């Protein structure tokens, strides 16, 4: 199960880093999204952020949860954020989310890939690995 995080003002940077290294962080507002993206871009050694735009009623979105939970443990240095499009409407609009799940992959704060649909899990994993920093860095 993904973490139900508080807004950034109540979660310090150290707590964010600790939680992001072992669990998917859920953003329930535009403020959460903006704050977590800001913290993620400042995390040393974390070049890659995967944002999953979802809705609670979306079956395809729920289908992806076990994969995200597995990947967060197996891909150190990658931060996974889930953004509820019904609660973070401006973030969804800003990233032109028209279908869900939509995954936006960021590297060093810049969007480098967008994939739509639960049937893209293999392609998503491939893109994440492609953009991860080399081991030993």
User: Could you write out the three-class secondary structure of the chain?
Assistant: CCEECCCHHHCCHHHHHHHHCCCCEEECCHHHHHHHHHHHHCCCCCCEEEEEEECCCCHHHHHHHHHHHHHHHHCCCEEEEEEECCCCHHHHHHCCCCCCCEEEEEECCEEEEEEECHHHHHHHHHHHHHHCCCCCC
Yes or no: say if 95 and 53 are a contact pair by the CB < 8 Å rule.
yes
pLDDT score at 45 = 55
pLDDT for 13 equals 55
Active-site annotation, residues? 58, 61
Q: What is the CATH number of domain 3-131?
A: 3.40.30.10
Q: What is each CA distance from 105 to 11, 46, 77, in whole angstroms?
A: 23, 13, 13
Tell me, what's the pLDDT at 32? 85
Q: How many CB atoms lie within 10 A of CB 57?
A: 9
Series of mean pLDDT values for 10-residue runs along the chain (137 residues): 46 61 82 84 72 95 93 88 95 95 91 92 92 69
- Give residue 37's pLDDT: 83
Q: What are phi and psi of 59, to 5 degrees?
A: -65, -40
Question: What pLDDT is attached to residue 35?
Answer: 85
Closest to 92 (Cα-Cα) out of 33, 5, 47: 33
């Amino acid at each position: 199960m993904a973490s139900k995080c508080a807004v950034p003002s109540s979660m310090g940077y150290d707590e964010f880093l600790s939680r992001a290294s072992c669990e998917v962080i859920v953003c329930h507002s535009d403020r959460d999204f903006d704050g977590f993206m800001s913290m993620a871009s400042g995390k040393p050694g974390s070049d890659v952020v995967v944002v999953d735009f979802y809705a609670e009623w979306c079956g395809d979105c729920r289908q992806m949860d076990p994969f995200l939970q597995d990947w967060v443990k197996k891909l150190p240095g990658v931060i996974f954020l889930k953004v509820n499009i019904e609660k973070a409407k401006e973030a969804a609009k800003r990233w032109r989310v028209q279908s869900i799940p939509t995954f936006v992959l960021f590297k060093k704060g810049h969007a480098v890939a967008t994939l739509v649909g639960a049937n893209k899990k293999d392609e998503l994993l491939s893109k994440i690995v492609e953009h991860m920093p080399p081991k030993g860095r």
